[in-house]
Structure 1
Amino acid sequence: MHAMLKVVLGIALLAAAPWASAQVYKCKGASGETVYSQDPCGKGAEPVKLRSNRAATETAGEAANRSAVYRTTELTDAGIAERNCLQSEQSRVYGPLDARSQAVSRQVADLNRQLAATSDSLAGATADAGIRAQISSLQQSLSAERSAADGQMSAARDRCSAARRDREKEVHDKYSQPTSAAR
């Protein structure tokens, strides 16, 4: 009978082992630190509720949510890429123009100083006319360069915008396919 009791007790322990091993207790250690244990570790031991592992399969709702998040993220990325494209093009197109504009401003200021120093004689009037012609030429040149840069920037905006539209279409096509929930 004693042997039979050991066998029954052993089977009972084996059967209860999965539940016993799933229980975890939260206790305070000797130094006051938090300790987790499989066995109650004192009067203040608190059982901790464990979360079960998620199922390996994904529900249709979870797949739709994940797909919506990915779609939104990819569309946001397309917008960011367009903004980066525009900033890069603006630096490329207007950066040299801004440097040229500063140089022309310095030249015009220098010419204006020369203009103030000309005399009222006929030679001074001739020099004055020449200086004014140089200023006008510099300003016209800068205006033409700015107009060309504006045209380049307009074309760059069109390219950046087209790249965004293409990317948005790819994202839309990718996530409107029936198999997109399985991705």
Structure 2
Amino acid sequence: MKANLGIGLVLLLLAPVASAQVYKCKGASGETVYAQDPCGGGTEPMKLRSTRAASQTAGEAANRSAVYRTAEMNDAGIAERNCLQSEQSRIYGPLEARTQVVDRQVAELDRRLSSSNSNLAGATAEAGIRAQISSLQQSLSAERIAADSQMSSARERCSANRRDRESQVQDKYSTATPSTSY
């Protein structure tokens, strides 16, 4: 419903500018369909009447400007979210894959640890296995800290891009003087 309302609003705003032909056709199930191209042989374009004047009032111009400004501000927010999602995939994707590999390695080392002998040789092997597990976990922890730092920088970049874009939109619409005719 919201998408249809948005499309209707855009069409309403652009209707006076557009001068395309519209054809009234019958769809496959007998429903009425409107198209820009003729639907079949002998199809005549519809005669459209415009109820809008060729010029717009200052209020209409201000409304149009507000709609465009809001849309561009929303686009800046969407661009920031897309930027963050992309950076998160780029930064944390490899880390998650590495975490899975390390988890499998630790599970294998734990399996070996549980089957070690209870003699001196077994104790020495056990200490070595525990050292390997600790080393893998420390390495993964360091990688996670580095990824968190990269993501923090990426958040700042994405946010700065949004602020710049919003500032450009503010400047564009604060200096724009709405036109009163088409």
Q: State the TM-score, normalizing by the size of structure 1.
A: 0.70
Question: What are the within-5 Å matches in structure 2 for residues 1-183 of structure 1?
Answer: 53-179=51-177, 181-182=178-179
Quote the offset at 1:51 in angstroms.
Answer: 6.3
> How many angstroms apart in 1 are the aligned matches of 2:164 and 2:75?
13
Percent identity for Structure 1 against Structure 2: 74
Alpha-carbon distance in structure 2 between the residues aligned to 1:110 and 1:52: 76
Q: CA RMSD in A?
A: 1.5
Return the alpha-carbon distance in structure 1 between the equivalents of residues 138 and 117 of structure 2.
Answer: 27
SS in 1 for 2:84: helix
Structure with larger RCO (C-alpha < 8 A, sep 6+): 2
- Gaps spanning 5+ residues in structure 2: where? 1-47
Structure 1 moving runs of 4+ over 4 Å: none
Please give the alpha-carbon distance, in whole angstroms, between the structure 1 residues aligned to 2:176 and 2:133. Answer: 67
SS at match of 2:55: coil
- Bigger Rg, which one: 1
**Can you give the 5+ residue segments of structure 1 that lack an aligned partner in the other structure?**
1-49
1:12 maps to what in 2? Answer: none
Report deviation, 1:52.
Answer: 5.2
TM-score computed with the length of structure 2 as normaliser: 0.71
Instruction: Report the alpha carbon displacement of residue 53 of structure 1 after superposing the two structures with TM.
Output: 3.2
Q: How many equivalent pairs are there?
A: 133
The alpha-carbon distance between structure 1 residues 52 and 143, as it changes in their structure 2 partners (threshold 3 A), is: closer
One-letter amino acid of the counterpart of residue 141, structure 1: S
Q: 1:168 is paired with a residue of what secondary structure?
A: helix
- The aligned residue for residue 33 of structure 1 is none
